[in-house]
Amino acid sequence: MIDEKYTGADKLLVNAVEGIKRTGIQVVALRDRYAKMLMPLEGNVNHVGMMYAGSLFTLGEISGGAIHVVSFDMTKLYPLVKEINIRFRRPAMTDVTVEVELSAEQASRIQAEALEKGKADYAFDLDLEDASGEAVAIVHGTWQLRTMAERMGASVPKR
Amino acid sequence: MIDEKYTGADKLLVNAVEGIKRTGIQVVALRDRYAKMLMPLEGNVNHVGMMYAGSLFTLGEISGGAIHVVSFDMTKLYPLVKEINIRFRRPAMTDVTVEVELSAEQASRIQAEALEKGKADYAFDLDLEDASGEAVAIVHGTWQLRTMAERMGASVPKR
């Protein structure tokens, strides 16, 4: 469920990027430092009836943005994805979900580092799970938190 | 350009999976053991105007299927993606292309191993390049070639 303070953020995460919106992905839970997303099988099957690899990638990749919204000061900081590794373990034959979470200590430490240095990396190991709770894919992703000043200062942001 | 013997294969690669088709990706060249694809910026921008990470992933991931079509015996073998790593180097502000190629020796060796053992892995390091030839993202992908018999024998194909 979407905590009241994040009403609208769920829609923003899904609608801001056309390539994400057209998958039909849903944000099913947002609360402080926690997010859960669901990729529907419908509209995301491949030529042999399992979930398309790219839709699983989108589910993993959105996690870095979703945790940003519920963990960091969005008036001062924005996220970039640096690198994603995705290992496909089993065919995904149902809707697939992912959960991502930071502790208060982790969020504070990452944000403090970004505010001090202009940027800070954060990484997650994520299980993408089918309806039976089986991990169909494993994602290791690294994102970078940047200060707005860092963005304004660079003509072309480098990762 | 599409070699005459692969007419139709370019459309099949793009149209067989809805999640690929809706990106507007194009197969621009197919010949024996060589493929080139283009992801248009239009329809694939993110909330800050650069190409969406997931569309870059799709461009890398389709390479394994494209090289399959122009390198292996499609009546006996099919491909699965096992693992993809994508590192985002610079913002992609133009259309992005990828080229993938196998030598005759590589293709023969991989196919012979798959026919003998029922499966064989193949991997590529791919540069995803913008219009100026700059690598905006680097993909390392591993796919697996499987015999049809292997598919028929398994109730649920495991990767």
Is the pLDDT assigned to residue B155 strictly greater than 50? no
Contact between B23 and A20 using a beta-carbon 8 Å cutoff = no
**Cα–Cα distance, B54 to B62 (Å, whole number):** 12
Contact between A20 and B54 using a beta-carbon 8 Å cutoff = yes
Searching chain A, which residue's CA lies closest to the CA of residue B12?
A47
| Mean local confidence (pLDDT), B48-69 | 97
**Among B52, B80, B90, whose Cβ lies nearest the Cβ of A19?**
B52
**Cα–Cα distance, A107 to A140 (Å, whole number):** 18
A56 chain-B contacts, CB cut-off 8 A: none
Question: B86 and chain A: CB distance < 8 Å anywhere?
Answer: yes
| pTM for the structure as a whole | 0.94
**Cα–Cα distance, B43 to B85 (Å, whole number):** 23
Is the pLDDT assigned to residue B157 strictly greater than 70? no
Q: Running along chain A, 159 residues long, what does each successive block of 10 average in pLDDT? A: 94 96 98 98 95 98 98 95 98 98 98 97 98 98 90 51
**How many other C-beta atoms are found inside a 10 Å radius of the C-beta of residue A156?**
8
Q: What is the pLDDT of residue A134?
A: 98
On whether the CB atoms of residues A80 and A158 are closer than 8 A, the answer is no
- Listed ranges B44-48, B61-65, B148-152; the one with the highest mean pLDDT: B61-65
Residue B149's pLDDT band, with cuts at 50, 70 and 90, is confident
**Cα–Cα distance, B119 to B122 (Å, whole number):** 10
Question: How close is the nearest chain B Cα to the Cα of A15, in Å?
Answer: 9
Q: What is the pLDDT of residue B103?
A: 98
Q: What is the pLDDT of residue B156?
A: 47
Is the pLDDT assigned to residue B28 strictly greater than 70? yes
Q: What is the pLDDT of residue A155?
A: 45
On whether the CB atoms of residues B70 and B99 are closer than 8 A, the answer is no
Furthest-apart CA atoms within chain B: distance in Å: 49
Q: What is the pLDDT of residues B68-115, one digit of tens each?
A: 999 999 999 999 999 999 999 999 999 999 999 999 999 999 999 999
Q: What is the 3-state secondary structure (H, E, C) of chain A?
A: CECHHHCCHHHHHHHCCHHHHCCCCEEEEEECCEEEEEECCCCCECCCCCECHHHHHHHHHHHHHHHHHHHCCCCCEEEEEEEEEEEECCCCCCCEEEEEECCHHHHHHHHHHHHHHCEEEEEEEEEEECCCCCEEEEEEEEEEEEEHHHHHHCCCCCC
Residue B159's pLDDT band, with cuts at 50, 70 and 90, is low
Q: What is the pLDDT of residues B127-147, one digit of tens each?
A: 999 999 999 999 999 999 999
Count chain A–chain B contacts defined by CB atoms under 8 A: 98
Searching chain A, which residue's CA lies closest to the CA of residue B151?
A48
The proportion of chain B whose per-residue pLDDT surpasses 90, expressed as a percent, equals 91
The proportion of chain B whose per-residue pLDDT surpasses 70, expressed as a percent, equals 94
